[in-house]
Amino acid sequence: MPDDDARKRSGQRFAADLRAMREERGLSVEELRERLHVPSGLFEAFESGQLGGGDPMFNRVYLRSLARSYADATGAPSAPVLAALRATLEGEYEEGR
């Protein structure tokens, strides 16, 4: 089981890659948040790497759904994003999308 520090670092790397993917496509936080129909606080937490943070919304099922929707909304293939999320939750994600 990964320690909290490894999971946190993985979450931050994953979030940085998500932000870069959004920015490369010229989407603002607000545009993508509206496309995903996600409350702003949850979206910002997700995109900043707070994949647990005590919020009950961030269970694995919700995170998978949000990651898939994020990929779809940015035009990215969902399989690599979901694989990256899995690695992130295990504290094993390295940079690179």
Tens of pLDDT, residues 11-53: 899 999 999 999 999 999 999 999 999 888 888 888 888 775 5
- Which domain CATH number covers 74? 1.10.260.40
Percentage of the chain beyond pLDDT 90 is 51
Q: Which domain holds residue 36?
A: 4-89
Is 43 strand, coil or helix? helix
The first and second tokens of residue 9, run together, are: 């670092």
Q: b/e for 20-47, b at 16 or more Cβ within 10 A?
A: ebbeeeebeeeebbeebebeeebbebbb
pLDDT in tens, 49-61: 877 555 566 788 9
Is the distance from CB of 19 to CB of 47 less than 8 angstroms? yes
- The answer to whether residue 50 is domain-embedded is yes
Whole-model pTM: value is 0.85
Based on the structure, what is the number of domains in the chain? 1
pLDDT at 65: 93
